[in-house]
Structure 1
Amino acid sequence: MLQSRTLLGKAIIQIRSYSQAAAVVQAQAEAAEPQLLSNLEGFPRPDPKYDETILAIPRAISGTNTSIKERRAGRVPSIIFEQEDGQHGGNKRLISVRANQIRKLVNHLGRSFFLSRLFQIEVRSNFDSEADILEKVRVLPRQIHLHAGTDAPLNVTFIRAPSNALLKVEVPLLFRGEDVSPGLRKGSYLNTIKRTVKFLCPADIIPPYIDVDLSELDVGQKLVMGDLKVHPALKLIQSKDEPVCKIMGSRVSDQKKSK
């Protein structure tokens, strides 16, 4: 019992600390120049090619049996949460979305890129009723579970993303410059340590990805999170000293082949 109370106390402290950090970033963002809360030149922007409204219908109840029925009908049981501290949500709305639409988006974008992109959701009384729209809301996908064997979407969690929201986002990394990297041109290889990095982002400027420039890296050199070039309004949640990638020497197998 004492251990449970201790763990609960630590969890409350962590939530309070995170909420305080989010409040600080919010205050800094509100005090910043207006252009800092808009997309700036030189930073990645979402590709309009994948702008798409996700259609949804209300779902009255949750549970395993309901989820099974929804999937058999070609729908994915989903939830829309209000955002509270950028990560945890409240005031949930139960919905179902079309499985083929979610699968198409995940296949085209990739799972990590799907989870770092804003979408409009249109909740209708039924999918074919364009005139009976119950709600339109901008959201960020928070989680998606895929079937291990088929990659079929099993459920999706969305979080509301109004302009004043600060959201915790796992932003994917896009590595560039491998063809001109001095270390890689010498026959070394890239050790990729991180595929995504956590940022607290104003909703209007969530980056679809972050460019990682390898063009000047030589053997033994590395990039850490603090080296990443991102929009100034983004707040790095992880340590800036955590490594992202490193140019390693020749693989052991390659060294044996050369003898």
Structure 2
Amino acid sequence: ADGSMLQVAVRERAWLGSRRAAQAKAVGYIPAVINMGDGSHRLLELTQRDAEELQRAAGYKAMTTRRLTLSVGPPGSSAGVTGDGKGGDGEAQAEAGDEHELVPVLIQKVDREPWSDRIRNLDMLYAPQGMVITKRVPLRLVGEEDSITLRRGGYIHIVERAVKLTCKVEDLPPYVTIDVSQCRIGQRFLLEDIVKRLPEGVRLATNALPEGTLRAGTVSVALCLGKRRAMAALKA
């Protein structure tokens, strides 16, 4: 669920093209775009510093599953990242006496420089309250430091690192957490186990895991019939 929504100040941009993007980058700005869901798009820009701060606040792997509030200002307005949005549920609105408009979004894609991993572009989706979405959510393992099995030489083999969930945008969890502190050798986490850990209002998507055949010898985790496909297994 949203809890405290991050708020990021961005500003409108009128420019397009790689040349103008390079000029913006030279003064510390990167481009962003919002898909409004009706075929239209809004062109924005934010500072490189704020993009990196957003990544630290949201989490590297959770950037595309954390709902944000954009405070959209006119060209030349200030920027910044704060701990929560001041717009209630984050619906697009203009505060009295303020030129900034609050727009709730989900980040769809983060484009990074392959040589430095710095963010260079953000693609976003307009995400108003109540909108139902299907999204790949990363798995997060906890309790590894407390696992006696791991201390004795066991290790965790992960078959899938994310699973598709369907829910309202305000209920989307940034991670699906699996506690491995009490795991035993040979224990598996299946889709049935994932379902038990999902928050209320969140369910597995119809195609929760990608199709595909694992090459023989690459993993020793057996694939089960139907939805009983192993998510992770602990082996000696």
Taking structure 2 as the reference length, the TM-score comes to 0.74
Encode CA deviations 1:218-240: one digit per residue, 9 max, x unaligned. 11121123311102422312144
Q: Which runs of 4+ in 1 moved over 6 A?
A: none
Q: Distance in 1 between matches of 2:170 and 2:185?
A: 38
Q: CA deviation at 1:107?
A: 3.2
Q: Which residue is equivalent to 2:72? A: 123
**Structure 1 counterpart of 2:231:** 244
Cα distance per residue 1:125-177 (max 9 Å; x no partner): 13239965252111111111111222221100111111121122222222123
Aligned match of 2:26:
72
Q: Match of 1:110?
A: 59
The aligned amino acid for 2:172 is I
* TM-aligned CA distance change 1:128 to 1:185, over 3 Å: closer
| Change in 2 beyond 3 A, CA 1:83/1:206 | farther
Does 2:129 align with 1:163?
Answer: yes
Q: 1:190 aligns with which of 153, 156, 174?
A: 156
Specify the SS of the correspondent of 1:233: coil
1:201 to 163, 167, 170: 167
* Distance in 1 of aligned mates of 2:49 and 2:191: 36
2:202 paired residue among 195, 209, 234? 234
What does residue 15 of structure 1 align with? Answer: none
Give the Cα–Cα distance (whole angstroms) in 1 for the partners of residues 179 and 142 of structure 2. Answer: 5
Q: Which amino acid aligns with 1:68?
A: A
Aligned to 2:40: 91
Confirm or deny that 1:145 pairs with 2:111.
yes
Larger-Rg structure: 1
- Conservation of the 8 A alpha-carbon contact between 2:147 and 2:180: yes
Q: Any unmatched runs of 5+ in structure 2?
A: 80-94, 210-226
Q: Which residue pairs with 1:63 in the alignment?
A: 17
- In structure 1, the residue corresponding to 2:128 is in which secondary structure? coil
Per residue, is there more helix in 1 or in 2? 1
**Unpaired runs of at least 5, structure 1:** 1-38, 40-44, 85-89, 250-259
Cα distance, 1:109–1:203 mapped onto 2, change above 3 Å: closer
Amino acid at match of 2:231: V
TM-score (norm 1): 0.68
Once residues 134 and 127 of structure 1 are traced to their aligned partners in structure 2, the CA distance between those partners, rounded to angstroms, is 9
Task: Judge conservation of contact 1:55–1:98 (CA < 8 Å) in 2.
Answer: no
User: What is the SS of the residue equivalent to 2:233?
Assistant: strand
Counterparts of 1:128 and 1:182 in 2: how far apart (Å)?
A: 51
8 Å CA contact 1:184–1:219 kept in 2: the answer is: no
Distance in structure 2 (CA, Å) of the matches to 1:139 and 1:111: 17
Take 2:54 and 2:111, find their aligned partners in 1: how far apart are those partners?
A: 14
Cα RMSD of the aligned pairs, angstroms, is: 2.4
Aligned equivalent of 1:14: none
Match of 1:68, SS state, is helix
Pairs aligned (count): 198
Q: Distance in 2 between matches of 1:235 and 1:82?
A: 25
